[in-house]
Amino acid sequence: MKQALILGATSDMGQAFARRCAAEGFGLTLAARNTDVLGLLANDLRVRFNTEIETVLFDALDMAGHPTFYKNLKHRPDVAACFVGWLGDADAVHKDFTAARQVLDTNYTGVVSILDRVAEEFEARGKGIIIGVSSVAGDRGRQPGYHYGSSKAALTAYLSGLRNRLYASGVHVITVKPGYCHTKMVEHFDLPAAITSDPEQVAHAIYKAMKRKQNVVYVLWMWRWIMLAIQHIPEALFKRLRM
């Protein structure tokens, strides 16, 4: 039975992906900070799928603990998917560096820290799939939310480089770029329904990408073209816009 390690499993996308993997017969290791919700999620999956689920405490910001965390996993993963993310408060973040740091470290540094450990093992054995959930926000920095955006831009570049390095060893890396999605993270935002996905749609897109060995996946599909357009706006004009 194939094993999937899901980091940030209590996020809405992480939960949806966990359900999808369980439905497809994967064994699951769910890792997250919030052990209450993690327990509820694991139990829910057990009732739904009658399958064994391992749950482990994981904090993206506890980088010193990442090597031990990864080494001690009961089941070695075939697939590792990272859903860790933190939006932060766009107003507070540029005034208070501690808040800014949390955004940058959660979305980028912490993810690099754990994925490097995963990549090490996957490369040595010559197979596996690594999935990193970035964001369309990383495709161009705009106000507000450029701390989040830049951390995702960094993550996108990291995943691209990782994909490049691991290609020779047969390990596949997928970059997922969700656009607007109905999740806890943006619960209080009023998002345009036509271009906003549900976590289940993101999970489905990721699963499809795994099967087809896709490299960069936009969810929903139109965000690829939306971001292409946005990326082509000349900077002299872009700097004046308030999107």
- Interface positions with another protein (CB under 8 A): 10, 12, 36-37, 40-41, 43-44, 47-48, 184, 187-188, 190, 194
Name the minimum Å distance from CB 224 to another protein. 20
Name the minimum Å distance from CB 218 to another protein. 20
Whether 146 is catalytic? no
- 237 C-beta neighbours (distance < 10 Å), count: 8
Query: Do the Cβ atoms of 121 and 77 come closer than 8 Å?
Result: no
The secondary element (H helix, E strand) that includes residue 15 is helix 12-23
Measured CA to CA, the distance from residue 1 to residue 25 in angstroms comes to: 7
Which tokens is 121 given? 């093992």
Measured CA to CA, the distance from residue 4 to residue 17 in angstroms comes to: 10
Q: Of the two residues 12 and 105, which places its CB atom closer to another protein in the complex?
A: 12
Q: Of the two residues 138 and 179, which places its CB atom closer to another protein in the complex?
A: 179
Name the minimum Å distance from CB 18 to another protein. 12
Q: Which of 70, 108, 146, 148 is catalytic?
A: 148
How far is it between the farthest Cα atoms of the chain?
57
- The residues assigned a catalytic role are 148
